[in-house]
Amino acid sequence: MAELYYDDDADLSIIASKKVAVIGYGSQGHAHALNLRDSGVDVTVGLREGSRSWAKAEEQGLKVAGIDEAVAAADVVVILAPDQAQRSIYAEHIAPNLKDGAALLFAHGFNIRFGYIDPAPGHDVVMVAPKGPGHLVRREYEAGRGVPVIVAVERDESGQAWELALSYAKAIGGLRAAGIKTTFTEETETDLFGEQAVLCGGASQLVQYGFETLTEAGYQPEVAYFEVLHELKLIVDLMYEGGIAKQRWSVSDTAEYGDYVSGPRVITPEVKENMKAVLGDIQSGAFAERFINDQDAGAPEFAELRAKGEAHPIEATGRELRKLFAWVETKDSDYTEGSAG
Ligand code: NDP
Ligand code: MG
Ligand code: MG
């Protein structure tokens, strides 16, 4: 059984006695900085010169400084810029300014696991990774709740790294839900696998194939959209509440029987073999290398794949339909604000 931690297992005064620099003010950055501040922690947001987030963070009452300056003053440096930007931010702005004994905190293990950041000895390296998008991390905190977090220690040079990580997890509200102990390796590899094979990659491809199959057979795209995309949320909500079993309990017997006989026809054992190959590329570092090499080259492959995804006919159908849905709160413009992680 995994080790779980709650508010009573952590001492808030540890993080509250430190100066914290949060680098980046995007999805995770804004949530961590605001939650820390509201938990009584001395926090400064570190941003690049000319950052479009500077005014926003100041308007929300936070101290803001350039990255070098924020790092130089900090006992704990929290790296919440996008994974592909972290290596150069670390080399150019963090490493040269990092105080002796200052701790480094990540929300995802990518750069440590794959060796893109290799901190000098003497620094604790810890992770507090919320298992949800930053906007939810902030919203739940304000509502008196929290998003569960994954907590790990890669290097414990102070002998206090674990207590520090738990204290930070408590300050952002994560331990109101739960903290689960893991390692940088486990978090990184399972996170990448989950998003690639199931949550993002697998689900997106499944929905696109379903939409293509129906529309190519002559059915109306709007009807296809409802059946294979819109209703997915309702199914996932049931799974979230009570597992696959609750979903099967709630749907009609017709749907449940169809699930049993057709699910394995669509998702064949070969798909599991493909998943194993995806996991292999994550573990070997091949995926990380492909992603970072493309980013370093200006992200041509990423841009091409993104454009291809956006051009899929299901997107145009969905855009038109969602304008008519009074009950869907999220506006299409919302997703320009930050990634979902
Ligand atoms: P975002 O893409 O939202 O980060 C954007 C912020 O990073 C902005 O403030 C931006 O600055 C700054 N930034 C981007 N590039 C640079 C650069 N080259 N130099 C300096 N600052 C830069 O990141 P996320 O919040 O999505 O991810 C942060 C970390 O959290 C990652 O490690 C990610 O894996 C992890 N994570 C993310 C989750 C999520 O929900 N998104 C979930 C769990 C973990 P500016 O304002 O100037 O544009
Ligand atoms: Mg139906
Ligand atoms: Mg992720």
> Three-state SS across 182-248?
CCHHHHHHHHHHHHHHHHCHHHHHHHHHHHHHHHHCCCCHHHHHHHHHHHHHHHHHHHHHHHHHHHH
Supply the DSSP symbol for 335.
G
Cα separation, 314 vs 166, whole angstroms? 43
**What pTM, to 2 d.p., does this model score?**
0.92
φ, ψ for residue 252, nearest 5 deg? -65, 160
- Residue 20 amino acid letter: V
Is residue 167 marked as binding?
A: no
Burial class (CB in 10 A: 0-12, 13-18, 19+), 3: exposed
Of 326, 319, 318, 331, the residue nearest 223 (C-alpha): 318
Which protein residue's CA is at the shortest distance from atom 41 of ligand 1? 341
φ, ψ for residue 158, nearest 5 deg? -90, -15
Residue for token pair 């102070």: 158
What's the CA-to-centroid distance between 129 and ligand 1, angstroms? 13
Is residue 179 marked as binding?
A: no
pLDDT of residue 338: 44
pLDDT of residue 340: 41
Is residue 262 marked as binding?
A: no
Cα separation, 111 vs 84, whole angstroms? 8
What's the CA-to-centroid distance between 289 and ligand 2, angstroms? 41
**Helix or strand run (H / E) with residue 168:** helix 161-171
With H, G, I as helix, E, B as strand and everything else as coil, classify residue 23: strand
User: Both tokens of residue 73?
Assistant: 């003053």
**Helix or strand run (H / E) with residue 259:** helix 253-266
pLDDT of residue 325: 78
Burial class (CB in 10 A: 0-12, 13-18, 19+), 139: middle
Cα separation, 77 vs 164, whole angstroms? 12
φ, ψ for residue 276, nearest 5 deg? -65, -35
Cα separation, 306 vs 300, whole angstroms? 10
Looking at the CA of residue 134, tell me the nearest atom of ligand 1. Answer: 40
φ, ψ for residue 11, nearest 5 deg? -110, 105
- pLDDT in tens for each of the 341 residues of the chain? 899 999 999 999 999 999 999 999 999 999 999 999 999 999 999 999 999 999 999 999 999 999 999 999 999 999 999 999 999 999 999 999 999 999 999 999 999 999 999 999 999 999 999 999 999 999 999 999 999 999 999 999 999 999 999 999 999 999 999 999 999 999 999 999 999 999 999 999 999 999 999 999 999 999 999 999 999 999 999 999 999 999 999 999 999 999 999 999 999 999 999 999 999 999 999 999 999 999 999 999 999 999 999 999 999 999 999 998 766 665 565 554 444 44
pLDDT of residue 337: 43
What's the CA-to-centroid distance between 266 and ligand 1, angstroms? 36
**Ligand 1 pocket residues where CB is under 6 Å:** 24-29, 47-48, 51-53, 80-83, 85, 89, 107-108, 129-130, 133-134, 338-341
What does DSSP say about strands 125-130 and 149-155: parallel, antiparallel, or unpaired?
Answer: antiparallel
Which protein residue's CA is at the shortest distance from atom 17 of ligand 1? 85
Q: Does the domain formed by 4-183 have CATH 3.40.50.720? A: yes
Sorted by where each begins, the domain ranges of the chain are: 4-183, 192-336
Residues annotated catalytic, as ranges: 108
pLDDT of residue 330: 57
pLDDT of residue 324: 86
CB–CB of 99/69 below 8 Å?
A: no
What's the CA-to-centroid distance between 252 and ligand 3, angstroms? 34
CB–CB of 135/340 below 8 Å?
A: no
With H, G, I as helix, E, B as strand and everything else as coil, classify residue 45: strand
